Amino acid sequence: MRRVLSHLYLLICVCLAMPDGAAAERFPKLNPETAFREMKVYDAKGSPVRTPAEDWQGAQERVRSDAGWAEWAEARRAEVDAWTAEPRDKAEYVAGWWHDFVRPTDGGFLEWTPEPPKDAPPKVFGGWVFGLRSRNGSYMVEAARLWRLTGDIRYFEWAAGQLDFYSSNYDGWPIQTSKSKSRLMHQSLDDANMLVRFVETARLLEGAVPDTQKPGWTSRRQHWIDALFRPMALLLDETLQRVHNIACWQRSAMAMAAIYTGDNQMWTLAVDGEFGVRRQVRDGITSEYFWLEQSLGYNSYVVSAFLPLFTMAGLSGRLEELRPEAAAVENLMLAPTLIQFDNGKLPTPADTTGISRRAPDLALLASARRVFPTRLGVERARTSRGWDLLLDPLDELAAGSTAAPPPGGSRNLASTRFAMLRKDGWQVFFHYGQIDRSHAQAEALSYEAHFEDIDVTHDAGTVGYGSPLHAGYYTRAWAHNVPVVDGEGQQGWHEGELLLFDNRQATVSARQSQYRPQVQATRTLSIVEGSLVEETQIATADGKSHRLGVILNVQGKATLPDSASGMEKPPFAYWRGARQWTAEGAVEIPAIIGGRQFRIRMEGAGKLRMIHAVVPDAPPNSREAIYAETEGTAAEFRVMWIPE
């Protein structure tokens, strides 16, 4: 009966899911196969999307004949043996949210260990369960691979036994709804990740699963399908009916389950449904090949979401059905090179955690090269051993010379609402608008800047979402270089309006007409005679006087005037050691940044109230911030970063 109802549900959903094919494409993507051409490896038919191979017989021979591969395989066995030596997951465990597994002091993530934490708050313990369950799922895939490689029945029995465990207990875990509907984990994203691992485990065990009979089972394999794969897939489709990075994981997992089960109705729902794979790619990837939520981590994350699907589709003979989508997804890996700083580091728009992301992401390029062979990825894959290289060698991929990222230069990425200025040693990233509310922070019109190899000012990203510092500091205006009105920054999210972009003059200007209710903010960034110049105008329309200001975050040490005095209460949360002074006209503040002397020149009409404080940076670091404020219905500020 449950199978009949499931099929009926899918049929209804497919009928109701009417793709909006007639609608104008929000982000036109012309010839995605040829974008970043100099970085890709093309096949004989001229396609950059490759059908992956999986050669288990060849893998066994390589391990027998190559001492290096034999040593690698033995290390994999030792790690899996250690994990599987004792029971791990328990039916009484209820998974929590990974973002709650954080330190209460600064929001940084705790170190996960296999031992359950003692006397931990429920949310922290739930985060630990997430870590346990997700690792257990990964080891299931590893064990299934070792079964295929070695024929050791222990690995088959453990991996299949874990599928039995999750299938038999799935209905017993409560449906959690605080983030989105999920049962095995705390949110649908994590359920989708687990379903990907479950399906991959079952696929690897395929052909060797004994037809075990137990009360209520039709067969062992069918029990996995009926009690785990299908209900997980159907639950995934009940949430995130929108374009979103999590929806990519959900639809990808559903499509993989459809391939394994042979369920064409589920495939249609996952791929061609209203918010299926095709819609996610069409409306989620901008014309410059950035993910619309703007956090650069999601470029890689969406690739990671679709890569298992494209791999399984290729191994199952269905990749051709997804080739146009795959061609666009590949470019997500390469687009961040357009806005990298000269030292390879990337800006941190939206709520990326951590500030160490670099472009190109060589590890991602290497892991994706079975489907998305790139010159850099192929070369990187040659340097380390792993399952992908063992099963799908690189011999037939002649990478040729290693291709460099696209040449640097000023550029405007119009549909993504990013701009990059380069001149006289300066590299300035400008985030002038947002294109989706998801993961947006109060940072429109913020900028990040490097001078030569010096990080002058950056966006600190954010911390674990469960930390109070996430909502109370890192997402707020005072963590960014932005205009401020009565102590508040941008309200809501807006695309903004590009007013000017001049590549030769290294100038960009943009306006946020709805920065806040009845507040318009305009900012122009220019590189002039070796200095970075920021010009900001704030205009209010309610006829009242307001406190109007701008914030600068400094990756160095500023020298304050003797007139600066301590404040009893800083102007913003989590600012400490605040000191203030007043000034007329221009203010010059010497600062040592990256070992080099700079002058920060700030000026505005009338008297300025100046405040300096030590503020949080990406944990566990801190940095300094400078705030200039005046009063009125409108204000103009001019800031210059002048390297000595």
pLDDT in the model for residue 1: 43
97: in domain:
yes
Specify the pTM: 0.91
275: in domain:
no
Report the alpha-carbon distance of residue 415 to residue 73 in Å, rounded: 46
Q: What's the farthest any 2 CA atoms get from each other in the chain?
A: 85
Beta strands per DSSP E along 605-633: 607-616, 622-632
Instruction: Give whole-number Cα distances, 311 to 110, 146, 554, in Å.
Output: 33, 19, 44
33: in domain:
no
DSSP string of 537-586, one letter each residue: EEEE-SS--EEEEEEEEESEEE---TT-EE-SS-SSTT-EEEEEEEEES-
Instruction: Give whole-number Cα distances, 67 to 54, 62, 64, 152, in Å.
Output: 21, 9, 8, 20
A 10 A CB-CB count for 116 gives: 12
Report the alpha-carbon distance of residue 588 to residue 603 in Å, rounded: 9
Report the alpha-carbon distance of residue 424 to residue 527 in Å, rounded: 8
**Is the Cβ–Cβ distance between 56 and 207 less than 8 Å?**
no
521: in domain:
yes
pLDDT in the model for residue 352: 84
Q: Residue 521 belongs to a domain with what CATH number?
A: 2.70.98.70
pLDDT in the model for residue 5: 43
**Is the Cβ–Cβ distance between 80 and 155 less than 8 Å?**
yes
Taking the mean position of all CA atoms in its chain, how far away is CA 280? 15
Token pair of 437 as six digits: 């509310």
Give the residue numbers spanning the domain of 201: 66-239
Domain final residue pick, 191, 207, 239: 239
Instruction: Give whole-number Cα distances, 55 to 150, 269, 364, 392, 587, in Å.
Output: 14, 31, 22, 6, 68
384: in domain:
no
How many angstroms separate the first and last alpha carbons of the chain?
77
User: Torsions phi, psi of 539, nearest 5?
Assistant: -130, 130
135: in domain:
yes
Contacts of 13 (CB under 8 A, 6+ apart): 237, 269, 273
pLDDT in the model for residue 13: 43
Exposure class string for 544-574: b at 16+ Cβ within 10 A, else e: eebbbbbbbbbbbebebeeebeeeeebbbeb
pLDDT beneath 50: ranges in the chain: 1-22, 399-401
pLDDT in the model for residue 16: 41
Instruction: Report the alpha-carbon angle 53-367-50, nearest 5.
Output: 40
185: in domain:
yes
**Of 358, 317, 313, 312, which is closest to residue 339 (Cα–Cα)?**
358
Tens digits of per-residue pLDDT, 142-185?
A: 999 999 999 999 999 999 999 999 999 999 999 999 988 999 99
Domain final residue pick, 212, 239, 266: 239
Contacts of 404 (CB under 8 A, 6+ apart): 38
Identify the DSSP state of 172.
Answer: G
**Of 305, 294, 296, 292, which is closest to residue 334 (Cα–Cα)?**
296
Domain final residue pick, 214, 239, 264: 239
Taking the mean position of all CA atoms in its chain, how far away is CA 306? 13
Query: What one-letter code names the amino acid at 202?
Result: A
Query: What one-letter code names the amino acid at 333?
Result: M
Q: Is the dihedral of CA 159, 161, 162, 167 positive or negative?
A: positive
611: in domain:
yes
Domain count, the chain: 2
